[in-house]
Amino acid sequence: MTGADEEYDDTPLALRNSRTTLDRLLDEMIEQPENLPSIAERIHQVFGETRAVMVLDMSGFSRTTQRHGVAAFLLMVHQMKRLALPEIEDHGGLLIKAEADNLYCLFDDTDDAVRAARGIMRQLNAANMVLPEERKLYASIGIGYGQVLNIDDEDVFGDEMNLTCKLGEDVAQRSEILLTEGARATLTLKHVETRPEQVSISGLVLGYHVVS
């Protein structure tokens, strides 16, 4: 079998996981509102996955940009990605996208996501031992597990992704790793301890778990 044969994808064009397929199905929803439930089911069939998701948010960038300019901000983001990416890949993860000072990743299970998150924190702590105070790297991380829509390994949507973003970007403090209920329920690492917490957001009580 040749390399070309190995790369051949015989999935029908209408069922391939791509942004084009998603846009076409969303257009059908607009044009055929009477078929919305069946089209929504097709979207879940094409894009639906059960995965662990990890969202990393770096800390202190507004202050860094104000004091030292955009170039300093870009340098710190670049350093963070260089330290984080090997940990993500070494634990079977995939970097879906990087936006500003955030990283969005997918993993097969919660254990691998937690291993990667702890590895990233170790790498940042080690780097901070030699970095000047104004360039020290800090992050907060949220991890979830559940049903998501994965758009061609380039974007992820779903309730679990929303919860994970909320934890990583808004709830977690500097150097914290927080798990959604779904992630905690699927964590099997016996040496990792967690404690339950709650936070009220827009009148809703959100339960989560802090990795010790």
- pLDDT tens-digit readout, 28-68: 999 999 999 999 999 999 999 999 999 999 986 666 666 66
Evaluate whether 125 touches 177 at the Cβ level (below 8 Å).
no
User: What pLDDT, on a 0 to 100 scale, did the predictor assign at position 168?
Assistant: 95
How far apart are alpha carbons 13 and 68 in whole angstroms? Answer: 49
Q: What is the average per-residue pLDDT within 140-146? A: 98
Instruction: Show the tokens assigned to 171.
Output: 């709830």
Evaluate whether 25 touches 43 at the Cβ level (below 8 Å).
yes
User: What pLDDT, on a 0 to 100 scale, did the predictor assign at position 12?
Assistant: 55
Q: What angle do CA 181, 158, 44 make, to 5 degrees?
A: 120
Write down the residue that tokens 């590895």 correspond to.
Answer: 119
Please give the single-letter amino acid code of residue 27: D
How far apart are alpha carbons 188 and 195 in whole angstroms? Answer: 15
